Structure 1
Amino acid sequence: MSRHPLVKWAQRSDKLFVTVELPDAKNVKLNLDPEGKFFFSATGGVDNVPYEIDIDLYDKVVVDESKASCTSRHICYLVKKAESKWWSRLLKQGGKPPLFLKVDWDKWVDEDEQDEKSAGDTGFGDFNFSVSRYIAMELL
């Protein structure tokens, strides 16, 4: 049986920031499809415990323009939305979100404050999304 890692998220009108907090993750895999199906799996910890996330995002995404990067503490995903608009929530289904899913208040910007952020701001600081050597990323 797999566990759920802590997942933080924030958004802009055109993209999502999804951060999976899983120190020393190994065998990281991501499946992302245009309909918004987001699947993540990895092993972590000394005992290589399996972790998994299988969620349906609120709306469609552009897989080819989405990126991933990995550090020793986080796996960060920059997911491009198919349509540039604010989502009312992260998940397609309504109701209370799962306990492992949290808002990333460090990256959060209100809709009316988005223009105050610089256009080149990725929200992930100096993360290098061109180097993804630790991630097997399957893009459907």
Structure 2
Amino acid sequence: MRSHPEVLWAQRADKVYLTIALTNAKDIAVKCEPHGLFNFSAVGAKDETIDFSLELYGKILPDSCKPQMGLRNILCTVQKEEKGWWQRLLKSEGKPAPYIKVDWNRWCDEDDESANETDENDLKYLSDDDGSSSDDGMLYLPDLEKARGN
């Protein structure tokens, strides 16, 4: 069985963020097609070829799919053809592959987006409390092990 790098995703009304957890990758290539096909390929740290395709929920603008290399991952911002919130990342209704997970650090709810207009690189940690707790000034950091399903 082939292993896949972990893919984290989050969305805004106009774009989708795909973060591919892949360190020391070379020869990175991203190709997007208007009907929503996202193709990724790279050569991993051990010279293994990594390639996968995702059939995204909606139509996208192919020219907007450009990868940004980070220290431990690759961030791809994909522009949606039409502004609006997708019900899920993939077109298929079944459970997504186990390597596809929600990026809680970039996630923004539909209701919160207009209230939290920020730069796409800003990360916000939001709490569900009403602000009356005694830990004013503390950031809420999600339990990463729970978020990753471990």
When the two structures are superposed, what TM-score results if normalisation uses the length of structure 1?
A: 0.81
2:57 aligned with 1:70: no
How is 1:1-140 mapped onto 2 (pairs within 5 angstroms)? Answer: 2-45=2-45, 47-118=46-117, 121-122=119-120, 124-125=121-122
Gapped regions of structure 1 (runs ≥ 5): 126-140
* Residues 1-10 or 95-104, more deviating: 1-10
Matches of 1:2 and 1:55 in 2, distance apart?
A: 16
Give the alignment's Cα RMSD to 1 decimal.
1.7
Deviation at 1:68, TM superposition (A): 2.2
Amino acid aligned to 2:67: A
**2:30/2:38 contact within 8 Å kept:** yes
Seq. identity, %: 40
Gapped regions of structure 2 (runs ≥ 5): 123-150
In terms of fraction of residues, the more strand-rich structure is 1
Give the total of aligned pairs. Answer: 123
Matches of 1:93 and 1:64 in 2, distance apart?
A: 24
Amino acid aligned to 1:105: W
**1:17/1:76 contact within 8 Å kept:** yes
Larger radius of gyration: 2
**1:2/1:52 contact within 8 Å kept:** no
The one-character-per-residue Cα deviations of 1:47-106 (angstroms, maximum 9, x if unpaired) are: 212212211000100122343211231111111100101000000011100011000000
- Secondary structure at the aligned position of 2:105 is classed as coil
RCO higher in 1 or 2 (8 Å CA, sep ≥ 6)?
1
Matches of 1:84 and 1:74 in 2, distance apart?
A: 27
When the two structures are superposed, what TM-score results if normalisation uses the length of structure 2?
A: 0.76
